[in-house]
Amino acid sequence: MGALAAAIAAGLAAIGAGIGNGLIVKSTLEGVARQPELRGTLQTIMFTGIALVEALPIIAIVIAFIVM
Euclidean distance between CA atoms 47 and 53, whole angstroms: 10
- Over 90: is that where the pLDDT of 2 sits? no
Q: What is the pLDDT of residues 41-65, one digit of tens each?
A: 999 999 999 999 999 899 989 988 8
Domain layout of the chain by residue ranges: 1-67
Amino acid 58: pLDDT: 93
Query: How distant, in Å, are the alpha carbons of 7, 17, 31, 50, 62 from that of 37?
Result: 44, 28, 10, 21, 40
First vs last C-alpha separation in the chain: 9
- Over 90: is that where the pLDDT of 3 sits? no
CATH tag, 1-67: 1.20.20.10
Instruction: Give the phi and the psi of residue 29 in degrees, each rounded to 5.
Output: -65, -40
Res. 1 pLDDT band, cuts 50 70 90: confident
Mean local confidence (pLDDT), 28-37: 95
Euclidean distance between CA atoms 10 and 25, whole angstroms: 22
